[in-house]
Every structure is written in C-alpha cells, then in structure tokens.
Homo-oligomer: A and B are copies of this chain.
Amino acid sequence: MWKITDSFDKDQITNFGNKYLLANGYMGYRGTMEEYGKEELVANTILGLYDQVGTSWREPVNAPNGLFIKMSFENEELSLRTKKPLKHQQELNIYEGLHRRETSFSVEGGQVTLSIERFLSMASVHLMAARGELISSVPITLTLQVGIDGNVWDINGPHLIGTQLCELDETSLLFEAQTNEEKKKLSVGQTITVDGKSRYIKTEKQGFHEYLITLEPNVPFSFDTFSATYNENDGENPTEQVVSLLNATKKEGYLSLKKAHRNIWANLWKKSDIEILGDEEAQIALRYSIYHLLSIAPRHSDRQSIPARGLSGQTYKGAVFWDTEMFMVPFFQRTDPQIARNLLMYRVHTLDGARKKAKSYGFDGAFYAWESQEYGQDATSDYNVTDVFTNRPMRTYFRDKQIHITGDIAYAMWNYYEYTNDVSFLLDGAAEVIFESAKFYVSYSYFKESKNRYELLDVIGPDEYHERVANNAYTNKLAQVTISIALKVWSFLEAHYPNELSVLLQKTKLEEQKNLLERFQQLIYVPAPDESTGLIEQFDGYYQLEDTSVATVKSRLLNPQEYWGGAYGIASDTQILKQADVLLLLNLFSSSYDKEVIKRNWAYYEPRTEHGSSLSPCIYAMAACKFDNQEWAYPYFMKTATVDLTGETKQFAGTIYIGGTHPAANGGAWMAAILGFAGLKVTDGQLEVDPKLPSHWEKMKFQTIYQNEYYTIEITQGGQKIWKN
C-alpha cells in the first residue's frame, strides 16, 4: 500500500511530518521535504540521546538533516518552501518503509520535476539513503545542493554545541558536535554518488556540495545520497563509525542497500500483518498502525524503549511512559517477542533510577519514572501544565502520585514471562524489578485498622483529571497483582533457582518479608463491584462528584486551551474522566469479573469519559468485546486505529506543539483487533480465539507467536482455524 497525497497544502506540513514518518528504531525522520528546514519541523530524532539546556525541559536530540537536497534555477529556489508547484505527490510505502516525493515546478516555459525516494535502513540502522531524479521538459541548467543541514527543529535547544562541519572528500561531508549537557559526541556524515564537479559551500550550520546540472529535455538525471548517524551512546568514536559506514555504503550502492532493507520489512510484515476482508477502511487503518509500531521498535538495543510520541520528534520530552508496557508490549509480545523483551529490559536497566525516585519520596523499592529518560530518571516536571488564565505554572502530581506505573511494569513483565516462558528474562533482572515493585507498594500503603485493610492514599489513577484521590480501583488492583506476582516469582525461584533467589532476597532485603507480602496481598483494599449495581467506584468519593455530561462540562470552558484537570479544572469536581480507568482494570482482568459487571461499568463510565487521551478508546473497544458487544466496540476501535491517519488529535497546548505519532494508540488498535475482535487468549496453556467479529467483517487472518511457536489464525463469521506454521 502506498499512502499518496496528490497536492500540496502548506497547512498540512506539520501533520504530514508525522503521517509520512520513516523510522527504524534507532532514529525517526519526519515526513518533511528534503529542502525543508526548522520552520517545517525537519527532524531526525535519535532514540535515547537526550539533552537539557538550562532549566528548560530535557528532550531528545534531533540530529542535523543528512538528507538535505535543494535545487534552484538562476538563484530562484525550486522549493516547496518558496514556490507553488505545478504538481506534487508525497507517498509512503508502509510495506517497505519507503518515502517518495515528486514535485514539478514551472520554469522557462517548461517544467522541472524532482523525485526523491528515501528510506531509513532497517538492515543498518545508522543509515539513511535517498535516490533523486531530475527531469525537465526543456533544456535547462539547474543548481543542485546536497549535504547536511543543521537547521532542524529544536523545541528547547540548541542541544548541539561546538559544531564542526568539514569536507571529507569531494563527495563527502562530516558534521560533528556535542550535546550541551553531557557533552556527548554526535557525528553525521553524508556522501553523494553523482556525475559532475562540485563546489563545497559552508554556512554556520549547513554544509553542502553544489552541482550545476545541465538537463536535456526529458532525459532524467539521477543521483544517490547516503547519510550515517552515530552518537557516543553507540561507541566512543562516532566519527570513525560514520566514516566506516559511509565507505561501506558507497561500495554497496543504493539498490543493494534498499534490497536488504526491503527484505527485513517483508519479514516484519510476515509476522505482524492482519488481513481483514469486508472493511477496507479498517484494513488500511490497522495496517497503518502496525507500520508505525514496526518502524519505531528498537531492535538494536535493550537499553532503550519507545517514547510516547515514538520517533516523531521532541514532544513529550521523548520520554517513555506506561504507554509502552500497557499498549505496545502486548503487540510485540505476540508478534516479535524479542522486541518486547528489549522494551522490558529497558526497565531492568533503569531500576536504579526507580529506586532513587522511591527513596527521594521516602519509599522503599522501585517507583518508576512517569516520564522516563535514558537512566530511568523522571523527566516529569512538578509543573507540567501552564494556567492559561495567569500564565503561571500549575503544580501537577503526575510525577509523585501516579504510582500505578510501577505495577504496570511488573504486570507487563510477568505477562511477558508467562506468555513466552522466557526464564532468562526473570533471571536477567525482571525478578528483581518485581520484588522491588512489591516493596514499593507495601511502603507506600497505610493500614486502616478500623477496616482491617491496606489502602493506597493520595494517588492519581489513569484518569489524570482527578488528582490526589484515595483507593483508585485500578491502582489498588495493580498493587495487589504486583504483590501476587512477586510471591509467584518467589515460589518459582524457590523451586527452580534457590541460589538465585537467595542472592536476590538478600539484595532486596526481602528475606524475612514473605509473611508481610502475603498479608498485604490478602488485605489490600480493592474496590469491588457493588452488589446491586455491579459498578466499581473509580476512587473513594467518586460518586459524590457532580454527575453531569462531557458536553455540559465542555460548555463551561472559558478558554479552549484550559486544562480540564488539576484542582479547579472543569472536570475535577465532576464524574467526567479523561480516559478509561475502571474499564482498564476490568479489561485487563476480565476473567475475574462477570460479563454483566463489565457491561454495566462500560455503560456507566463511557458516557462520562472525555477520551482526552489517545489511550482511551481502544480500552472501551476491547472491553465491549469482553461482553460480546462488537457493535459497541467498533467505533472505538476505528477511532484508535485512525489517530495518526487523520492527524485529528490535539496538536497544541497553549503555544507549544505537542503533536506527533501515537504508538500507544497504534498498539491499542492492534489490541482491539486481536485481543478484542479475534479474542486471542491462552486457556490452560492452549492458544485459542473467542471471536467477536464486527458483523460486516468477512474474515480476519493473522499470525502470532506463543511459547516460541508461530500460529496462523483465520476467523470468519462462521468459524475459526488455528494452525502452527
């Protein structure tokens, strides 16, 4: 499938930057034109390389644009920045990870067309490659500039200092710089394969080779350009690595590199594709969602995870949220478990950060960062929102009160282990994370003697509009589950790895604490469905809040940009929630609750949900499937699956751009399809499906992996087939 746009719309530049994103897990290159600069948010965002300038938000570093290409004619730029094109096409091949643009400009009574194909190599993740072609209807001599442009998007930069630009040889350039905070080296090299003589031109942040290209009518002229990017996280001498990769690249050539890249993409799709018959729109949206997940998965390292906005830029501080464990890992776990393992190992490697955070708040164990950066430090500001009325920073509690993050991680780890039977993962650190997570909840909790129960006070649940609540059902359940998991791990290690257990218990100081964990597991208060209504109260006192509608609350806005939550937000004193909360609990642990309970809670909470987060609709979609109502589920599935296709999400908070891609929603779309409509599950060690196809879907077909074996699953309205490959 090629995603095609047939015209040029200036207002869509930012949106298309996300929509046509290329990525390969190491870096993400926005869907901008090769001649664009920082105003158009050109960015090659590097996974795991962060920087802070002064007290501004710490965020990922965007490398300079190593695929800079610009043409002009007699000092007039032939560029979408400055000139209206005769024709313009932009295309994304989601099956092969290829981006293509073709733009024609009128010139000298004729027209010149520039076509460029580019990709971020999946075979060699430090490499970007592009092949350009020029063709003119009239004889003409054009100027072509190809090189490296440091004028890229930077929200809280400049992050690169000490920039050095030089010519390596007649066709190759080198850009070297350091990050501002940690002085980490970053090198970008570029080389071009072209016939002709060039001139080297250098400005402060830009270096390129300039060619005079004389075109005969309708005779195409083509050239290839390659760019290599390394930073100090990849080795001590990024420049050496850049030079070495460029040399190898030149020898290999564009077509060969592209072939290796396409092979990997083909293999990825083989493992991950979902075929839907009877719903072209859903088919496109779902595949587009899967494309994004495949693009941004870090295959090269288990020390990085996927940020909330993927590799589409610097928004959300490039930080890793619970999005990864709760909304993306389920996809990878069932299609490419090594990726899931990489993502979860990132949490093992950042356990010390979580321990430090817990300690800083006076708790034991692991309190994971709400917005995690490379060392597990929490990038969340205590003032994450600006008051639109006073322009003052507002004290927010995402960092210190959203304690469910630790349980999300422990849950995802155990789930991965159970699903894959990957014992090495437990021994490589997951068991330790789980033990530290259990300790955290015990130390956070208080005991209420009159009720003979542990409680978790002063938290924020998934519904962030209600701050500092007590006994959020989801959070308390996750805490209980975390302790249960810890006890299961304890028993498992005791039986099979007693030495490892003993070391671990000593390290985590849990030797004498089994009773305490068992007591907590038994006595932690988990709000249960009310006997008569079947409803679970989201947190203590939720029902006492004003019971109103999303529309009514919205009508109270005085400023369209104002924050709905916090102490005085329009939603705060009402039952209106930002996103699935009780339903998240019911969906995750659906086997512990009656279908009728799930349905009643769905019917109660959905009309009260603003879906102010892209994480919300997929939960309602999945949950509706749990009580066999795929018709209720379908619109929420579609809303999730089309998030990045339409780009119709909140793009600005005040004056700050917060857009980008939504990998959690992409994962949510996959979950709604596979865990919802197909009903994929494991019962007594057997993979099975419990399908609830939307009535207009004729067929669903997909692959999945369970305990190291690949299965193909085909579901029709009348039946189902599962076979091992």
Contacts of A392 in B (CB 8 A): 568
Contacts of A468 in B (CB 8 A): 468
- Contact of A105 with B by CB under 8 A: no
Tell me which of A50-58, A146-154, A448-456, A714-722 binds B.
A448-456
Please measure, in the bound complex, the distance between the C-alpha atom of A364 and the C-alpha atom of B451, giving whole angstroms. 12
Nearest residue, chain B, Cβ from A457: B457
- With contacts A389-B390, A573-B395 taken as known, whether A449 is within 8 angstroms of B450 at the C-beta atoms is no
Nearest residue, chain B, Cβ from A361: B541
Q: Which of A373-409 contact B (CB under 8 A)?
A: 387, 389-390, 392, 394-395
- With contacts A468-B468, A566-B567 taken as known, whether A455 is within 8 angstroms of B450 at the C-beta atoms is no
- With contacts A567-B395, A568-B395 taken as known, whether A450 is within 8 angstroms of B443 at the C-beta atoms is yes
Contacts of A568 in B (CB 8 A): 387, 390, 392, 394-395, 566-568
- B-contact bits for A106-148, CB 8 A (1 contact / 0 none): 0000000000000000000000000000000000000000000
Contact of A449 among B389, B395, B447, B455 (CB under 8 A): B447
Please measure, in the bound complex, the distance between the C-alpha atom of A661 and the C-alpha atom of B428, giving whole angstroms. 71
Shortest beta-carbon distance from A438 to chain B in Å: 13
- Contact of A572 with B by CB under 8 A: yes
Shortest beta-carbon distance from A457 to chain B in Å: 6
- B-contact bits for A572-608, CB 8 A (1 contact / 0 none): 1100000000000000000000000000000000000
Shortest beta-carbon distance from A514 to chain B in Å: 15
- Contact of A656 with B by CB under 8 A: no
Nearest residue, chain B, Cβ from A562: B390
Contact of A448 among B446, B450, B566, B573 (CB under 8 A): B446
- B-contact bits for A308-348, CB 8 A (1 contact / 0 none): 00000000000000000000000000000000000000000
- Contact of A558 with B by CB under 8 A: yes
Please measure, in the bound complex, the distance between the C-alpha atom of A558 and the C-alpha atom of B389, giving whole angstroms. 11
* A interface majority secondary structure: loop
Contacts of A449 in B (CB 8 A): 447
Shortest beta-carbon distance from A674 to chain B in Å: 42
User: Are A450 and B364 in contact (CB-based, < 8 A)?
Assistant: yes
Contacts of A448 in B (CB 8 A): 446-447
- Contact of A458 with B by CB under 8 A: yes
Nearest residue, chain B, Cβ from A566: B567
Nearest residue, chain B, Cβ from A540: B362
Contacts of A572 in B (CB 8 A): 395
Please measure, in the bound complex, the distance between the C-alpha atom of A572 and the C-alpha atom of B390, giving whole angstroms. 15
Please measure, in the bound complex, the distance between the C-alpha atom of A567 and the C-alpha atom of B572, giving whole angstroms. 12
Instruction: List the number of copies, as a whole number.
Output: 2
Shortest beta-carbon distance from A505 to chain B in Å: 18
Please measure, in the bound complex, the distance between the C-alpha atom of A470 and the C-alpha atom of B573, giving whole angstroms. 22
User: Are B450 and A447 in contact (CB-based, < 8 A)?
Assistant: no
Contacts of A567 in B (CB 8 A): 394-395, 566-568
Nearest residue, chain B, Cβ from A362: B540
For A392, A568, A572, A573, which residue has the most chain B Cβ atoms within 10 angstroms? A568
Q: Which of A548-571 contact B (CB under 8 A)?
A: 558, 566-568
Please measure, in the bound complex, the distance between the C-alpha atom of A657 and the C-alpha atom of B567, giving whole angstroms. 26
Please measure, in the bound complex, the distance between the C-alpha atom of A443 and the C-alpha atom of B451, giving whole angstroms. 10
Nearest residue, chain B, Cβ from A397: B567
User: Are A558 and B458 in contact (CB-based, < 8 A)?
Assistant: no
For A389, A446, A448, which residue has the most chain B Cβ atoms within 10 angstroms? A446
Contacts of A443 in B (CB 8 A): 450
User: Are A558 and B390 in contact (CB-based, < 8 A)?
Assistant: yes
Contacts of A446 in B (CB 8 A): 446-448, 455, 457
Contacts of A389 in B (CB 8 A): 389-390
Shortest beta-carbon distance from A304 to chain B in Å: 32
Nearest residue, chain B, Cβ from A383: B573
Shortest beta-carbon distance from A598 to chain B in Å: 28
Please measure, in the bound complex, the distance between the C-alpha atom of A711 and the C-alpha atom of B22, giving whole angstroms. 91
Q: Which of A356-377 contact B (CB under 8 A)?
A: 364
Please measure, in the bound complex, the distance between the C-alpha atom of A447 and the C-alpha atom of B568, giving whole angstroms. 30
Please measure, in the bound complex, the distance between the C-alpha atom of A568 and the C-alpha atom of B392, giving whole angstroms. 9
Nearest residue, chain B, Cβ from A470: B458
Please measure, in the bound complex, the distance between the C-alpha atom of A448 and the C-alpha atom of B558, giving whole angstroms. 43
Q: Which of A5-61 contact B (CB under 8 A)?
A: none
Shortest beta-carbon distance from A158 to chain B in Å: 29
Nearest residue, chain B, Cβ from A455: B446
Contacts of A566 in B (CB 8 A): 567-568
Please measure, in the bound complex, the distance between the C-alpha atom of A568 and the C-alpha atom of B572, giving whole angstroms. 14
Please measure, in the bound complex, the distance between the C-alpha atom of A446 and the C-alpha atom of B454, giving whole angstroms. 9
Please measure, in the bound complex, the distance between the C-alpha atom of A566 and the C-alpha atom of B446, giving whole angstroms. 25
With A387-B568, A458-B458 already in contact, 7 other A-B pairs whose C-beta atoms are closer than 8 Å: A395-B567, A442-B450, A447-B447, A447-B448, A566-B568, A567-B568, A568-B568
A-B contact pairs, 23 of them (CB 8 A): A364-B450, A387-B568, A389-B390, A390-B558, A390-B568, A392-B568, A394-B567, A395-B567, A395-B568, A395-B573, A442-B450, A443-B450, A446-B446, A446-B448, A447-B447, A447-B448, A447-B449, A458-B470, A468-B468, A566-B567, A567-B567, A567-B568, A568-B568
8 tightest Cβ-Cβ pairs between the two chains A and B: A567-B567, A446-B446, A389-B389, A447-B447, A394-B568, A443-B450, A447-B449, A390-B558
